[in-house]
Amino acid sequence: MRGLGDSFSIQRDMNVTKLEQQFNEFMNQMDYRGGVKVFKRLRGGKRDVYLAMLYDHLAMQNKFRKFYEYKARYLYRRALFGKYRIEALLGLGRIYWHRNDRRALRYYKRALRYSPKDPRVLIALGNIYKAQGENKKARKYYRNAILHSKDNNFGLLLNHSLFWLKRGNAKKAQSYIKEIEGAIRGMRESKTKEIAKEQLRQIKEAA
């Protein structure tokens, strides 16, 4: 089957919007290996962060987990001193969170100090506190993420709904259904969209 990367032109002076479109395409299709092949050939811009994220996700579905995590950590740490510091801190936090390592919270809090109103940071903290069973703190960060989001951020709406569903409050979980449905309709067909539709179905069917 023709890989996603085959349709993309490889340019060293590629603008951020084009780079982001390519990255999102690989992520939505969960084609992390294909993304690595393409992004390794690029230079400059946000390349290191995107490549690190691809390695990061590849590590979660590969028997060579430590190897890919090492590559992701190296690239994230290299990005810590540039303009994509927040993305690097979030990436490092995510690696440790997937390993149930307390260092995840340390990186997320560092990101919060640099960018206290960034919805991505607030969602990450909400997720980690939810996983730890600290629901009051999780709720605070999810609420702040929604407050500071410039649009109906699909990820935070879905996370917030699933948070309430897990706590047994179907009414609050279902209060975001219309927004989530609208976001899903605007998504291109992908594996990510299928997962989102399944999660939405669970929210709708909650008693």
C-alpha 9: how far from its chain's center?
A: 25
Stated as kind and residue range, the H or E segment containing 165 is: helix 154-166
Residue 180 near residue 165 (C-beta atoms within 8 A)? no
Residues with Cβ < 8 Å from 20, sequence gap 6 or more?
46
Q: What is the pTM of this model?
A: 0.71
- What's the CA dihedral at 131, 136, 139, 144 to 10 degrees? -120
Of 36, 122, 114, residue with least CA distance to 75 = 36
Distance CA 69, CA 12 (A): 26
Distance CA 15, CA 71 (A): 24
Sign (positive or negative) of CA dihedral 78, 82, 84, 88: positive
State both tokens at 122. Answer: 């607030």
pLDDT by position in tens, the chain (length 207): 323 333 222 333 344 477 888 888 898 888 999 999 999 998 877 889 999 999 999 998 777 889 999 999 999 999 998 899 999 999 999 999 888 899 999 999 999 999 999 988 998 998 898 888 898 898 888 888 877 776 556 676 777 787 788 778 888 888 878 878 877 877 778 777 888 888 888 888 885
